[in-house]
Amino acid sequence: MDIEHVRSRFIKHFDGSTGYIYASPGRINLIGEHTDYNGGFVFPGAIDKGMMAEIRPNGTDKVKAYSIDLKDYVEFGLNEEDAPRISWARYIFGVCREMIKRGVDVKGFNTAFSGDVPLGAGMSSSAALESTYAFALNELFGENKIDKFELAKVGQATEHNYCGVMCGIMDQFASVFGKAGNLIRLDCRSLEYQYFPFNPEGYRLVLLDSVVKHELASSAYNKRRQSCEAVVAAMQKRHPNVEFLRDADMQMLEEVKDEVSREDYMRAEYVIGEIQRVLDVSDALERGDYETVGQKMYETHHGMSKLYEVSCEELDFLNDIAKECGVTGSRVMGGGFGGCTINLVKEELYDGFIAKAREDFRNKFGRSPKVYDVVIGDGSRRVE
């Protein structure tokens, strides 16, 4: 994220005037995947990569938005019927609409934005974009009356209502609440959260990006969510208090085995295990027991691959290489269907692991995975 770059493009693209610059990060997630929309726990952290936008109210009722990276320009109004068709602009439009629904008097503005969080890599570039605008509009038009919890929900509602992804709250929460050097353990039902300083001495966190982007990711994602809800509905006949899979255990799942599809059963089996793994990992972190953290990460990968079925050949391959190299923990990160693995690796194994991953992956798939060292950074902010 480069302030000078954003500013120079803003000035060039608009009338030479300047505005305010805001930024929000993407995220990693140590463990707790597909648990957020099941009322469970997640363990994300913001990263040092994200989105940056310059914004200046323009005295009209139109938003004039320029994507610096795509060199694409769109204008749209602020009423429901003004929704732009182009997908990147829908995020900004959606945030405007969700802020208006919450009583913020959003007016027209000029904006240019750019990002360095890779798109479609499971690092939440879209949440970074949503949080940037939610935070900015709150300051510029809302006198900061919307609190940070609600800003995260604005981003989530944008996904639901304007982008067709029925996501949970993890990505937007991590983007808004991120804190340098800390992971966040978040209870996605109550939104209670706790910062965990994360500085695993002798280990590194590294992402390996398979550069696989799945076109159908959003519909497959929504389908996973429906499976979870179907299992909850079946359980509610016996246990009316079950609101989410968070409230269920394996025995309750066994009870409905014959009433749900085999596929839905597998999805729920994964989620119930995963919610417990997050708790196990937070206990292990308190003890500084990174071996257990790593072992749970492998278990998550196995569940995501075999039960939740959101991995792919490339990600399974990267996971296998990690295992072969003695990497402490490795798993597919984020929604899945492509993107990255997150790896917890001992310092002394790092170079060998990265070299082998690059070489073996290239031999098999004809290209190299991208490598990102994780730096845990701050959440949404005004930059200057």
Active site residues: 171
Task: Name the minimum Å distance from CB 154 to ligand GLA.
Answer: 14
Q: Which CB sits closer to ligand GLA, 19 or 334?
A: 334
Q: Which CB sits closer to ligand GLA, 1 or 342?
A: 342
Token duo for residue 80: 């429901």
x/- string (CB under 6 A) for ligand GLA, residues 315-334? -------------------x
Q: Which CB sits closer to ligand GLA, 84 or 168?
A: 168
x/- string (CB under 6 A) for ligand GLA, residues 73-92? --------------------
Residue 33 in contact with ligand GLA, rule: CB under 6 A: yes
List the one residue out of 10, 332, 26 whose CA is nearest residue 170.
Answer: 26
Residues 189-201 as b or e (16 or more Cβ within 10 Å = b): beeebeebebeee
Task: Name the minimum Å distance from CB 131 to ligand GLA.
Answer: 12
Q: Which helix (H) or strand (E) holds 205?
A: strand 203-209
Listed ranges 168-176, 248-256, 340-348, 354-362: which one lies at the site for ligand GLA (CB under 6 A): 168-176
Task: Name the minimum Å distance from CB 38 to ligand GLA.
Answer: 9
Cα distance between residue 111 and residue 272, in whole Å: 43
Residue 339 in contact with ligand GLA, rule: CB under 6 A: no
Size of the residue set binding ligand GLA (CB under 6 A): 11
Residue 168 in contact with ligand GLA, rule: CB under 6 A: yes
Cα distance between residue 321 and residue 332, in whole Å: 13
Residue 37 in contact with ligand GLA, rule: CB under 6 A: yes
Q: Which CB sits closer to ligand GLA, 220 or 375?
A: 220
Binder among 9, 36, 121, 162 for ligand GLA (CB under 6 A): 36
Q: Which CB sits closer to ligand GLA, 51 or 68?
A: 51
Task: Name the minimum Å distance from CB 272 to ligand GLA.
Answer: 15
Interface of this chain with ligand GLA, residues 341 to 370, rule: CB under 6 A: none
Cα distance between residue 41 and residue 382, in whole Å: 29
List the one residue out of 208, 133, 204 whose CA is nearest residue 367.
Answer: 208
- Write 224-228 long-range contacts (CB < 8 A, 24+): 224/34, 224/267, 224/308, 224/310, 225/37, 225/166, 227/261, 227/263, 227/264, 227/267, 227/268, 228/34, 228/37, 228/38, 228/264, 228/267, 228/268, 228/271
Altogether, the residues listed in the chain come to a count of 384
What's the start-to-end Cα distance of the chain, in Å? 13
Residue 14 in contact with ligand GLA, rule: CB under 6 A: no
Residue 34 in contact with ligand GLA, rule: CB under 6 A: yes
Task: Name the minimum Å distance from CB 127 to ligand GLA.
Answer: 7
List the one residue out of 297, 367, 287 whose CA is nearest residue 327.
Answer: 297
Q: Which helix (H) or strand (E) holds 185?
A: strand 182-187
Write out the residues near ligand GLA by the rule CB under 6 A.
33-34, 36-37, 124, 167-168, 170-171, 334-335
